[in-house]
């Protein structure tokens, strides 16, 4: 059973460009969480999605950032008009669909390191 997959692993963008980060959850997982890690800091929650629904986006900046988790395909975190402050590692985690004991298990992907020039 493959783990959580993220691509690309490294992404370089110039200021003003768009960044698209992809996350494929573990097989059978329908809950996806996105976290951002700024240099020398801990991970900060951004958004929580289930298939075709955004459940909690309280940690996501109101402008330029969006996320989706379509019925088919990976979850996408999209950053429009990137700025240098967006440079960070972005981690995706997935968890199973049902059961409280299962829901608290989050399995992390390897992250995407975004560098904005």
Partner 1 sequence: AQTVTQSQPEMSVQEAETVTLSCTYDTSENNYYLFWYKQPPSRQMILVIRQEAYKQQNATENRFSVNFQKAAKSFSLKISDSQLGDTAMYFCAFMPRPGSSNTGKLIFGQGTTLQVKP
Decide whether 13 or 31 has the Cβ nearer to partner 1: 31
Cα pseudo-dihedral 78, 82, 85, 87, rounded to 10? 60
Decide whether 14 or 42 has the Cβ nearer to partner 1: 42
Q: Assess 96 for contact with partner 1 (CB under 8 A).
A: no
CA atoms of 105 and 117, how far apart (whole Å): 36
* Residues 29/50, Cβ–Cβ less than 8 Å: no
Q: Assess 90 for contact with partner 1 (CB under 8 A).
A: no
Only one of the segments 11-19, 63-71, 76-84, 99-107 lies at the binding site for partner 1 (rule: CB under 8 A); that segment is 99-107
| Selection from 97, 59, 98 nearest residue 77 by Cα | 59
Q: Assess 91 for contact with partner 1 (CB under 8 A).
A: yes
Q: Assess 42 for contact with partner 1 (CB under 8 A).
A: yes
Decide whether 35 or 65 has the Cβ nearer to partner 1: 35
Provide φ and ψ at 114, rounded to 5°: -100, 125
CA atoms of 84 and 23, how far apart (whole Å): 23
**Residue 18 CA, distance from chain mean position:** 15
**Which residues ranging from 18 to 37 are in contact with partner 1 (CB under 8 A)?**
31, 33, 35
Q: Would you tell me which residues interact with partner 1 (CB under 8 A)?
A: 31, 33, 35, 41-45, 48, 55-56, 59, 89, 91, 93, 95, 100, 103-106, 108, 110-111, 113
């Amino acid at each position: 059973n493959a783990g959580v997959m993220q691509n690309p692993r490294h992404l370089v963008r110039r200021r003003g460009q768009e960044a698209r980060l992809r996350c494929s959850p573990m097989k059978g997982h329908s809950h996806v969480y996105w976290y951002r890690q700024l240099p020398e800091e801990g991970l900060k929650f951004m958004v929580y999605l289930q298939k075709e629904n955004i459940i909690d986006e309280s940690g996501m900046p109101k402008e330029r950032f969006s996320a989706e988790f379509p019925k088919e395909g990976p979850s996408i975190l999209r950053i429009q008009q990137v700025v240098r402050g967006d440079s960070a590692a972005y981690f995706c985690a997935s968890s199973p669909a049902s059961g409280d004991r299962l829901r608290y298990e989050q399995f992390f992907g390897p992250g995407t390191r975004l560098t904005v020039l």
